[in-house]
Structure 1
């Protein structure tokens, strides 16, 4: 029986652990410094989105989309997934031309999931949208899910597959043993494993540095708003083309507003702070797109800590300084949707040294130039 250690109990760590634990011959332990889903995995907007992906991410995102359509078969829970669609609206003719260009780029790569629609179709999809919107880019099978419910579903599934999850365990060192295994040192215990996954999110560069590897990656602190319950008026998840916003109405009637407006965070103390001036800007954009929410009471706000690479796509691949250590981090605020497929890819890399899943564009070698 081979041993693997996964560092980080967020969604990517749990997905990696689940897929690897289901492979014959592997004993998997997840080490989480706090509790599973503590940072970005449990507090994000839950977007299940292919729409607008970096062109390098589309193939992996489409694999993940197929997995989301049958997510209950994977983890025993539907994770609150609602395939209500994702819509990027054009607020001007210039926006619409930009969306048309984007759709052409995607079609040129052989993908057909993104579709440009006119003013009339936007209003059919979004009856409450502001009158100045002139069109949109639509992905009809995208949607959203419940982040913490998803985290807990992956946790249960990983444990049922035989993975051990150790919370409150902080990694302090990683080193090669004389026998060729990797020693993972925590404050309480030392683990030895043939394979280790670095899924530590905003703290993954610290883990990489323990192995002598420098990978450029910063952090972000995307803020979220939840409003009071409103009568149903919006099914898809919506964002504008030229402004930062993510907007959706939940089944309970609350409106969740995000989209990248930044607060402050301090990775060293694991704290984050809402900046209400920036948050007010997000609320103003939401009211301009959906006048029905103007005046709605805000009942909750928060921000988290996420890893953000220079090109805002993830790092997935084996360490170049410590073979047997595999990185999976830097999802830059849009890793929720790809997590089932990314975890499968990393598990295959760990077990077999190769994968047919489309993660080749994400190795840290791209930063060499």
Structure 2
């Protein structure tokens, strides 16, 4: 009989794990307290980037980026991926020095995907940019995709391979049973030989039930989208010393985000925006693209993200249980990594050594700081 896997959390990482485990012959059940992509994976800025990654994440980001190039072959949909490039803009000489240091650091690690560009090159790439910016750091081939379309495509492919989704189910009881697990939401019960924790902002609650607490906080990155504007932006823009993710879609609308936080309502399990934070993000945009001061904001929203103390995720086996795997805490920059997460989970489930280095993401790094 096929081994039974229960994945808690139907975001991108959960759907990726579901697909890869189904392909390995597991009987996969995915449980989500809301619906697939509700809180983070389906409502984020959609950045597909290697640019600016934590050094430990760079090998994963490069591997995931390679999967984005052939997304249609994997799930039958390109997920709206547009490799338009990304540029982190320097607003002054101090920013430029930081970017130069970053380029040296990345090259020292043996990678060449980030390239320092001067003022002239920056203006060629971004003609509408304010002229006070002295340069930037570019990563050609990075870009953006459509978050909810991505989650939907991966979910559907996982279902085609046999995975079963249960939405609107909140797990409240996790108990060992024999060599596996019994999970319950009150009226619904599930049995698993292997448990995979992809529960996002609620992964810490599952860790508590498993006896291995982590320093996870739920945060609410905010986003805005404008009216349709004439084409002016061909690449994704970030700032060096201020939070910003700025991109224009094919229909002319412009998305503004990048990490300014709203407020998480832990009772209703939703996020609310803050006008002062939205204004801060808008001010950044206007200082870089002055004509944007006349653009009308049509919609704002916030997601709910799991953020770790050290800003990198937990990916790997449980420190307490031989039949638990964790993949959570991507700290508001996990969307691009989704295609590779499932492969890592499948390797761990099959007791294969992952081809990518995951030691920095071990849950054990928190055990000295979190009380049992």
TM range (shorter): over 0.9
Q: Distance in 1 between matches of 2:355 and 2:185?
A: 33
Cα-Cα RMSD = 1.1
Mapped contact 1:203–1:267 kept (Cα < 8 A): no
Aligned to 2:214: 215
Structure 1: unaligned runs, 5 residues or longer: none
Q: TM-score, normalised by structure 1?
A: 0.97
Aligned to 1:326: 325
Does structure 1 residue 16 correspond to structure 2 residue 17?
yes
Aligned to 1:253: 252
Mapped contact 2:319–2:364 kept (Cα < 8 A): no
Shift of 1:353: 5.3
Q: Distance in 2 between matches of 1:323 and 1:268?
A: 33
Q: What per-residue deviation string (whole Å, max 9, x for no partner) do you get for residues 103-128 of structure 1?
A: 00000111100000111111111111
Q: Distance in 1 between matches of 2:106 and 2:244?
A: 22
Mapped contact 2:233–2:247 kept (Cα < 8 A): yes
Shift of 1:242: 1.0
Shift of 1:172: 1.3
Q: What SS does the corresponding residue of 1:176 show, helix, strand or coil? A: strand
1:265-284 correspondence runs (5 A): 265-284=264-283
Q: Distance in 1 between matches of 2:302 and 2:58?
A: 27
Mapped contact 2:18–2:30 kept (Cα < 8 A): yes
1:196-207 correspondence runs (5 A): 196-207=195-206
Aligned to 1:69: 69
Mapped contact 1:51–1:139 kept (Cα < 8 A): yes
Shift of 1:336: 0.2
Mapped contact 2:236–2:247 kept (Cα < 8 A): yes
1:176-215 correspondence runs (5 A): 176-177=176-177, 179-215=178-214
* Stretch of structure 1 that moved more, 223-232 or 355-364: 355-364
Q: Distance in 1 between matches of 2:262 and 2:279?
A: 12
Aligned to 1:108: 108
Q: What per-residue deviation string (whole Å, max 9, x for no partner) do you get for residues 225-246 of structure 1?
A: 0000000000111011111111
Does structure 1 residue 337 correspond to structure 2 residue 336?
yes
Q: Distance in 1 between matches of 2:300 and 2:314?
A: 29
Q: What SS does the corresponding residue of 2:7 show, helix, strand or coil? A: strand
Q: What SS does the corresponding residue of 2:89 show, helix, strand or coil? A: strand
Q: Distance in 1 between matches of 2:6 and 2:171?
A: 11
* Stretch of structure 1 that moved more, 314-323 or 138-147: 314-323
Q: Distance in 1 between matches of 2:317 and 2:183?
A: 16
Structure 2: unaligned runs, 5 residues or longer: none
Mapped contact 2:39–2:270 kept (Cα < 8 A): no
Q: Distance in 1 between matches of 2:77 and 2:291?
A: 33
Mapped contact 1:61–1:338 kept (Cα < 8 A): yes
Aligned to 2:158: 158
* Stretch of structure 1 that moved more, 182-191 or 357-366: 182-191
Q: Distance in 2 between matches of 1:195 and 1:11?
A: 19
Q: What SS does the corresponding residue of 1:42 show, helix, strand or coil? A: coil
Aligned to 1:121: 121
Q: Distance in 2 between matches of 1:117 and 1:273?
A: 38
Q: What SS does the corresponding residue of 1:123 show, helix, strand or coil? A: helix
Q: Distance in 1 between matches of 2:18 and 2:317?
A: 16
Mapped contact 1:312–1:332 kept (Cα < 8 A): yes
Q: What SS does the corresponding residue of 1:252 show, helix, strand or coil? A: coil
Q: What SS does the corresponding residue of 2:96 show, helix, strand or coil? A: helix
Aligned to 1:40: 40
Shift of 1:267: 2.7
Q: What per-residue deviation string (whole Å, max 9, x for no partner) do you get for residues 332-359 of structure 1?
A: 1000000111121012212225322222
Q: TM-score, normalised by structure 2?
A: 0.97
Aligned length: 367
Q: Distance in 1 between matches of 2:358 and 2:242?
A: 29
Aligned to 1:87: 87
Shift of 1:271: 2.1
Q: Distance in 1 between matches of 2:132 and 2:367?
A: 45
Does structure 1 residue 56 correspond to structure 2 residue 53?
no
Mapped contact 1:64–1:341 kept (Cα < 8 A): yes
Q: What SS does the corresponding residue of 2:42 show, helix, strand or coil? A: helix
